[in-house]
Amino acid sequence: MLQHFEHVGMATGDLDRALAFYVDLLGMELVLRKNVRAAGGPEVAFLAINGVMVLEILKPSGEMTGPARDLPNSEVGIRHIALSFENIDATYERLLAAGVVSVEKPRDAYNREILARVAFVKDPDGNIVELVQH
């Protein structure tokens, strides 16, 4: 029986840079950072929001190609991750001031039955992050 959503996993070319974005700018909690490269594994970090694990970021050994590819509408796959904020207009402006790349400025959501406003930015690796306000 399914208990709950656990986390999304993503790869990064620079774990310090990714943590600066997700922890320092967005406010996620760093639960665990571990380097298992000596055993041939990656460097990995697990992040939570309000004590709930949501994101695993790993930096494989060796060079990574990037940035992340924007997924065309004609292809299947994960397009973005969405994070809820109290005020996305203020959050969006704060992220832009920190040099974060904008994809779409804040606007009213199309699915107003469940969301009030949305905006889209890119993380340092080019993954799209949706900012959501209920």
Q: Which domain holds residue 42?
A: 8-59
CA-angle at 67, arms to 17 and 32, nearest 5°: 35
d(CA 61, CA 76): 28
In a domain, 100, yes or no: yes
pLDDT of amino acid 41: 78
Q: Is residue 126 part of a domain?
A: yes
Predicted confidence (pLDDT) per residue in 33-74, tens digit: 999 876 777 899 999 999 999 999 999 888 888 889 888 889
**From CA 49, how far away is CA 83, in angstroms rounded?**
10
**CATH number, domain at 116?**
3.10.180.10
- What would the pLDDT profile of 73-84 be if each residue is shown by its tens digit? 899 999 999 999
Residue 108 placed within a domain? yes
Over residues 91-126, the pLDDT tens digits come to 999 999 999 999 999 999 999 999 999 999 999 999
Question: Residue 25 falls within a domain, yes or no?
Answer: yes
pLDDT digits (tens, 9 = 90+) for 9-29: 999 999 999 999 999 999 999
- N- to C-terminal Cα separation, the chain: 29
